[in-house]
Amino acid sequence: MIKYLIIDDEYIAHDIIKGYCDLLPDMQLMKSCYDAIEAFEFLNKQDVDLLFLDLNMPVLKGFEFLKTLRNSPKVIVTTAHKEFAFESYEYNVADYLLKPFSFERFLTAIHKALHVSAVPHTILPESRKMANRMFIQSNKQYIQLQTDELRYIEATGNYTKVVTSTETIVIREKFSTLLELLAQAGPIQVHKSFAVFPEQIKRIEGNRIFIHEQVIPIGKMYKNNLDQLLK
């Protein structure tokens, strides 16, 4: 479960962010804060994984607030002021969203927050687990995957199957496109229709890869990919 906090002095911003988060699995709103002081008091008592932070707030501005945090969670800035984008790099924010932002842009920011160590020396234990998660879209819903549970992906016509240790998900997406989306999880293409995740390989015999009970063929054109792994 990804615990998040919204810090913004505009009520409509809270509604939009929460509405987007409600479309995603495993996103838990811990508190809606309308100024940085309220957020500071909450974070002194509880930890969260992710902050959605406005910059132009009364009393204490967004970047000033970040300076007060000893162990900062991942941070996604949500603001109408583009002039602070360059300064945000000094605070290692995961992404910088300019209002108004679409759901697609919001989802990109979520991916960055989950997979990029925005504050590498002060990440909370729960945040480390987030690096092993990602979202993929299937049938108008977003499914969260544990990347260490991925076994292989298989092209099946206009669809691609994602096989994990617990389920098989069929996605209307090109095989090549899905390979790119899952690149951070380290898949290796071993056939024109198959890519495997090396940590799941049980053994290799001739031109076959055994992953649990599944046998994956090795294509001649892709042997070099596997040779790099075996070296």
Q: How far apart are CA 63 and CA 58, in angstroms?
A: 12
As given in the structure block, the two tokens for residue 119 are 């504050």
Q: How far is CA 138 from CA 100, 163, 170, 171, in A?
A: 25, 14, 7, 5
For the chain, the domains span 2-130, 147-230
Could you read off the pLDDT tens digit of each residue along the chain, which spans 231 residues? 899 999 999 999 999 999 999 988 889 999 999 999 999 999 999 999 999 999 988 888 888 998 888 778 899 999 998 888 877 777 878 889 999 999 888 988 888 887 643 333 222 333 334 457 777 776 667 777 888 899 999 998 878 899 999 888 888 888 888 888 787 788 999 999 999 999 899 999 989 999 988 999 999 888 888 877 776
**Residue 135 contacts residue 142 (beta carbons within 8 Å):** yes
Same CATH topology for 2-130 and 147-230? Answer: no
Contact 76, 50 (CB under 8 A): yes
Q: For the chain, what is the total number of helices (H) and then of strands (E)?
A: 8, 15
Q: Spelled out in words, what is the top-level CATH class assigned to the domain 2-130? A: alpha beta
Yes or no: domain 147-230 corresponds to CATH 2.40.50.1020: yes
